[in-house]
Chain A
Amino acid sequence: MTLPIININVDLPSVPRSGHFTRQFWQALGEGRFLLQQCTACTALRFPPGSICAECPGSETLWIEASGRGTLYALTTVHAGPPALMRDGPYTRAIVDLDEGVRLIAEWLGDPETRFDTPVELVVTRYTNGCLFGARSIAA
């Protein structure tokens, strides 16, 4: 499933590095796909991606594409953050639990008072110099 891509016409103050084990993730994200690594030995999902499995000695992985659906675990709005990020005022971040069983941080696109444990979808936030990911509410 391709994620909605939201263009944000400013630079990201801190651009994530892309490396041997992460470049596929960032490339796919730019195309609207959210990839998770899966250990071929123990089937554990790994996020962020990397060279080894924390659960078993296995070293082989598959890339699987996440559904982009999940649940909102918590929100906070940062009113005192680094100046470069505060240029447009306070910003809200989410902890999202993907349906696949992965927890991650995402930008929050929506009401900062949204009720927790409600369904969300991931979106790609495409800045002028790189991509991050966000989340927003969807109907149950």
Chain B
Amino acid sequence: MNAPRKVAIVGAAASPVGRWAPSDQDDDALFELDVLGPLVIAALAEAGLDRSAVDTAAFVTPSPSTRQLGFSTYMAARLGLRCNGSVSEVSALGVSGGLAFDQALADVALGRAETALALGISYQTNAPLPVVMEHSLRAVGDVDFQSPFGLTPISWYAFDAARYMHETGITREQIAQIAVKSRRHAMANELAQFRKELTLEEVLAQRMIVSPLGLFEVPSVADGAICLVLASEEAARASGKPYVTVEGRGYHHEGYHQIGGKPHDMTAFPAARQAARAALDTAGVSLGDIDLAELYAPCTITEVLVSEAIGFCERGRGALDAIAGATSLGGRIPINTSGGCLSRGHPPALTGLYGLFELREQLLGRCGARQVEGARLAMHCCESGNYNAALIHVLEGPK
């Protein structure tokens, strides 16, 4: 075994997030290959590569409404890949996108692959809502002791919000400001699902979904497709094309699923804190060096809590800092410049890859009206459950 190599992201392509999954009645439908295939070719072309270079393809496991099974090996064949590293499907709820990236990263770092893809396509809007609901209840709770109570994935974040408000005195109105900020960021992101300006009054006027969270404080359903291309930094440098490097990586699973079986501080998100510490340590940098972050946050409250857990904001100040502009574009630490889950959109298993995509665009200085000036170091975080597990990567832009 060779010593691990430093890895670079050398290409990427993504579909806009939105409602575009084909219906069974549409005889002009684009199926999985038809959407993902052109993205793979475009992402490789950006890196000056073609499909013959690919040794590893780490697919995010597609959503249950995807008809094709055996997805990774089927799709590798249809994409015309011949792989010496690995072809796999990975999933662990919301951390899935980050895990696919991790698999591609590891194969390049260990010398198993010269070029590796982290990719996926996710259909969420073509399944009947009762089916999606029933499936999600079983994913986010013990199927016998919790799922029968009808707790949808976002209800767990609603518990977080209620508890946080009780402990801190912070109000729903203050937390809801995250939705307004997310939309302001998304307005300049052409991949975003929602780009029309949003006011706090509009957010608060929506119908309740899971109290205390209303329609615009929780994510919408969305489809997505994305491909990232990874290679060794050495190969990236030799190509002469711009690239970003992966400098740090950290992961922690706290040992609970949703609430677990023992009393503990549900809103502390210790997995995010520990994963961030490990990622910063491996990168050899401190939190204050980070210029921007993409943090997996399906609901307004989730961004507040993970911002605090990682240490971007003091405990109890996540919403207040957002209101003061500290976590907005132009602020001390811009968070979710893509618009995040609430406005960029949330195809859950792919959200991690979309977050990494945004950070690469930022570090390459391509974000136009939403560019973070002088962005050099960026942090990405995705999670599963109620932040029971977190996976964090630190990326660095061109030297």
Is the CB–CB distance between A80 and B210 below 8 Å? yes
Chain B residue numbers with a CB within 8 Å of A74 are 159-160, 162-163, 166, 266
Is the CB–CB distance between B150 and A73 below 8 Å? no
CB within 8 A of A16: which of B145, B209, B210, B259? Answer: B145
CB within 8 A of B163: which of A54, A73, A106, A112? Answer: A73
Chain B residue numbers with a CB within 8 Å of A90 are 208
User: Known contacts being A103-B261, A116-B162, is A48 close to B209, with CB within 8 Å?
Assistant: no
CB within 8 A of A103: which of B130, B133, B207, B260? Answer: B260
Is the CB–CB distance between A78 and B210 below 8 Å? yes
Is the CB–CB distance between A103 and B148 below 8 Å? no
B142 at the interface (CB under 8 A from A): yes
Is the CB–CB distance between B134 and A132 below 8 Å? no
Is the CB–CB distance between A77 and B208 below 8 Å? yes
Q: Of residues B137, B163, B212, which shows the largest number of chain A Cβ atoms within 10 Å of its Cβ?
A: B163
- CA–CA, A16 and B208, complex, Å: 28
A58 at the interface (CB under 8 A from B): no
Over the window 14-53 of chain A, the binary record of Cβ atoms lying under 8 Å from chain B Cβ atoms (1 yes, 0 no) is 1111000010000000000000000000000111100000
Is the CB–CB distance between B155 and A103 below 8 Å? no
Which residue of chain A lies nearest to B255 when distances are taken between CB atoms in the complex?
Answer: A54
Is the CB–CB distance between B261 and A112 below 8 Å? no
Tell me the dominant secondary structure on chain B's binding face: loop
Is the CB–CB distance between A77 and B211 below 8 Å? yes
B115 at the interface (CB under 8 A from A): no
Q: How far is the CB of B71 from chain A (nearest CB, A)?
A: 27
Interface size counted on chain B using CB atoms at 8 A = 37
- CA–CA, A22 and B144, complex, Å: 9
Chain B residue numbers with a CB within 8 Å of A12 are 148
B239 at the interface (CB under 8 A from A): no
CB within 8 A of B144: which of A13, A48, A93? Answer: A48
Which residue of chain A lies nearest to B158 when distances are taken between CB atoms in the complex?
Answer: A76
Is the CB–CB distance between A105 and B144 below 8 Å? no
Tell me the dominant secondary structure on chain A's binding face: loop
Over the window 249-267 of chain B, the binary record of Cβ atoms lying under 8 Å from chain A Cβ atoms (1 yes, 0 no) is 0000001000111111010
Over the window 103-147 of chain B, the binary record of Cβ atoms lying under 8 Å from chain A Cβ atoms (1 yes, 0 no) is 000000000000000000000000000100110010001111111
User: Known contacts being A95-B266, A102-B261, is A15 close to B148, with CB within 8 Å?
Assistant: yes
Which residue of chain A lies nearest to B148 when distances are taken between CB atoms in the complex?
Answer: A14
Chain A residue numbers with a CB within 8 Å of B159 are 74-76, 95
Is the CB–CB distance between A81 and B266 below 8 Å? no
User: Known contacts being A77-B210, A79-B211, is A103 close to B144, with CB within 8 Å?
Assistant: no
Chain A residue numbers with a CB within 8 Å of B263 are 73, 97, 101-103
Chain B residue numbers with a CB within 8 Å of A16 are 143-145, 148
Which residue of chain A lies nearest to B130 when distances are taken between CB atoms in the complex?
Answer: A83
A110 at the interface (CB under 8 A from B): no
Is the CB–CB distance between B149 and A132 below 8 Å? yes
B79 at the interface (CB under 8 A from A): no
Is the CB–CB distance between B149 and A48 below 8 Å? no
Which residue of chain A lies nearest to B207 when distances are taken between CB atoms in the complex?
Answer: A79
Over the window 266-299 of chain B, the binary record of Cβ atoms lying under 8 Å from chain A Cβ atoms (1 yes, 0 no) is 1000000000000000000000000000000000
CB within 8 A of B211: which of A81, A104, A112? Answer: A112
User: Known contacts being A48-B142, A82-B137, is A14 close to B259, with CB within 8 Å?
Assistant: no
CB within 8 A of B133: which of A47, A81, A106? Answer: A81
Is the CB–CB distance between B149 and A107 below 8 Å? yes
Q: How far is the CB of A124 from chain B (nearest CB, A)?
A: 14
Is the CB–CB distance between B151 and A93 below 8 Å? yes
Chain A residue numbers with a CB within 8 Å of B149 are 93, 105-107, 132
Is the CB–CB distance between B261 and A48 below 8 Å? yes
Chain A residue numbers with a CB within 8 Å of B264 are 103
Which residue of chain B lies nearest to A15 when distances are taken between CB atoms in the complex?
Answer: B148
Chain A residue numbers with a CB within 8 Å of B189 are none
A63 at the interface (CB under 8 A from B): no
Q: Of residues A22, A104, A112, which shows the largest number of chain B Cβ atoms within 10 Å of its Cβ?
A: A104
Is the CB–CB distance between A82 and B133 below 8 Å? yes
Which residue of chain B lies nearest to A84 when distances are taken between CB atoms in the complex?
Answer: B130
List 23 A–B pairs whose Cβ atoms lie within 8 Å, in order of A's numbering: A14-B147, A16-B143, A16-B144, A16-B148, A48-B261, A73-B266, A74-B159, A74-B266, A75-B162, A76-B162, A78-B151, A80-B210, A81-B133, A81-B150, A93-B150, A93-B151, A102-B262, A102-B263, A104-B261, A105-B141, A105-B145, A107-B149, A115-B166
Query: Which are the 4 A-B pairs with shortest beta-carbon distances?
Result: A76-B158, A16-B144, A85-B150, A48-B145
